[in-house]
Amino acid sequence: MANLDEKARVYVMALKYPAQAFSPVYSLGNQFVHLFGVCMQVYNSLVVRMLDPEECPRMKDAPALCDEGKEPVDVDDAVADRLMQLSRLRMTKLTAMDKRDFLAFYHKRAKG
């Protein structure tokens, strides 16, 4: 039962950069070209959406802390579900290893 605190609160927030032409979020390509593009942009916006704290999953509902007779909640899955609803994004089955493999492929193709 390490690192479980029944009084702990979970806050769910989604951050989104609405970009028309140039996204300030770096994902691929040359880092210096990206940095130059960000510095040359006059205006960036950031949309922050926060879920009402009453709708957020609670640590006290986790299986290890749940009261007798109450249905336990998988807090990880509950946070992921709420985050997808809040951000209006879809969950994918891709992992960090998939991203690493794609970046290796991308950099190999970019070099020729």
Q: What is the mean pLDDT of residues 68-82?
A: 73
Using one digit for the tens of pLDDT, what is the confidence trace for 11-53?
888 888 777 766 777 777 778 888 888 788 777 778 888 888 8
> Which tokens hold the place of 43?
């205006």
* CA 42 – CA 71 distance, rounded (Å): 51
**Model pTM?**
0.54
pLDDT-derived band at 1, boundaries 50, 70, 90: very low
CA 98, chain centre distance (Å): 17
pLDDT score of 17 = 78
